[in-house]
Structure formats: structure tokens, C-alpha cells
């Protein structure tokens, strides 16, 4: 069933003042991009959430735009799960810009979205300045890895774990 507008607004309000919550799991809520605005505003000021699971909310590129603005200001989140949110290369532009400014995220799950080779290029560019990502899941996207590696210079850093299962 998921959280309705009232519940999302109440959660966002609590996130702004809560000093103890470190894990927030709002997966499979189909929140969409409208509800993402409430969560994103709260994340701009929240300093305690370390693990954020937004899997399968289907917020798309517009929701990613709001979330990316929050990630530019939030430096507490280390584990970010964004699987199954219909994020395409356009949404990755917003995320990559945020990642170039955010060095707190160490684990990023982008599995099961609509990311292609252009999105991969934006991520690779962001990783030139972002040295914090150690775990990256890009499985079940539309990236053509072989073509990408031939067309672009993409260097994997030692110690990275990357899932690129294309099934």
C-alpha cells in the first residue's frame, strides 16, 4: 500500500528534528516525484541518517533532481539505495553533479533503472573528483559495458566493488 501524502509529510517533518534515526527505509512505496520533494527537503538538514533506502519508489528523473539537490548539502548519508526508480541518463546527470560535491556516500545502488552509456559517462566524470564510492551496483540497466569501455576512458579504482550483472 505504501505511505500516503500525510505520512510522507509527517516523516519529513520528523526527519528535520530527529537526532537519533540513522537508518531510513522507505522502499516499495511508489512515492513518485511529488512525495520525493518532502523527503529531499528534510534530507538537506538531517545530519543523522546514514543508510537511506529508497528502492522501488518509481520517482524517476524529476524525483532524482530533488534528491540530488539534497545530496549536495547532506554529508551524513553513506549508504544510498536507489534501485528500481526509473532513473535514466537524464536523472544521472543530476546525481553525478551531486556526487561531484558529496564525499560521504560510500555505497551506491543504482540497480534496475534505465541507465545507459551516457549515464555511465556522467558517473565516470563524477568519480574523477569523488573518491568516496567503494561499492557501486549498476546491475540490470541498459549500459553496454564493452562498447562503453572502448569509447570512453573509465578507470576502476583499486578496492572498488562493482556489480554490473546485465541480466
pLDDT tens-digit readout, 25-74: 999 987 677 889 999 999 999 999 999 999 999 999 999 999 999 999 99
CA distances from 103 to 30, 106, 129, 153 (A): 28, 8, 9, 22
Distance, in Å, from the CA atom of 145 to the CA atom of 85, rounded to the nearest integer, reads 21
pTM of the predicted model, to two decimals? 0.90
To the nearest 10°, report the CA torsion of 67, 72, 74, 79.
70
Mean of all residue pLDDT scores within the chain: 88
Which pLDDT does position 124 carry in this prediction?
Answer: 87
Instruction: Tell me how far the alpha carbon of residue 27 is from its chain's centroid.
Output: 13
Which pLDDT does position 147 carry in this prediction?
Answer: 55
Of the two residues 29 and 147, the one the predictor is more confident about is 29
Total residues belonging to the chain: 167
Q: Exposed/middle/buried for 5, CB within 10 Å: 0-12, 13-18, 19+?
A: exposed
Amino acid at each position: 500500500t505504501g505511505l500516503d501524502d500525510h505520512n510522507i509529510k509527517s516523516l519529513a517533518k520528523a526527519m528535520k528534528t530527529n537526532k537519533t534515526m540513522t537508518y531510513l527505509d522507505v522502499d516499495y512505496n511508489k512515492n513518485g516525484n511529488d512525495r520525493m520533494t518532502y523527503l529531499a527537503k528534510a534530507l538537506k538538514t538531517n545530519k543523522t541518517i546514514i543508510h537511506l533506502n529508497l528502492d522501488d519508489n518509481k520517482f524517476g528523473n524529476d524525483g532524482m533532481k530533488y534528491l540530488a539537490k539534497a545530496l549536495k548539502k547532506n554529508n551524513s548519508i553513506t549508504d544510498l539505495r536507489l534501485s528500481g526508480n526509473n532513473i535514466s541518463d537524464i536523472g544521472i546527470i543530476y546525481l553525478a553533479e551531486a556526487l561531484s560535491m558529496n564525499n560521504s556516500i560510500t555505497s551506491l545502488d543504482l540497480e534496475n533503472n534505465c541507465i545507459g552509456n551516457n549515464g555511465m559517462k556522467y558517473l565516470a566524470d563524477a568519480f574523477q573528483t569523488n573518491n568516496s564510492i567503494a561499492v557501486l551496483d549498476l546491475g540490470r540497466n541498459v549500459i553496454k559495458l564493452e562498447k562503453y569501455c572502448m569509447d570512453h576512458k573509465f578507470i576502476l579504482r583499486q578496492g572498488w566493488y562493482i556489480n554490473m550483472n546485465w541480466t
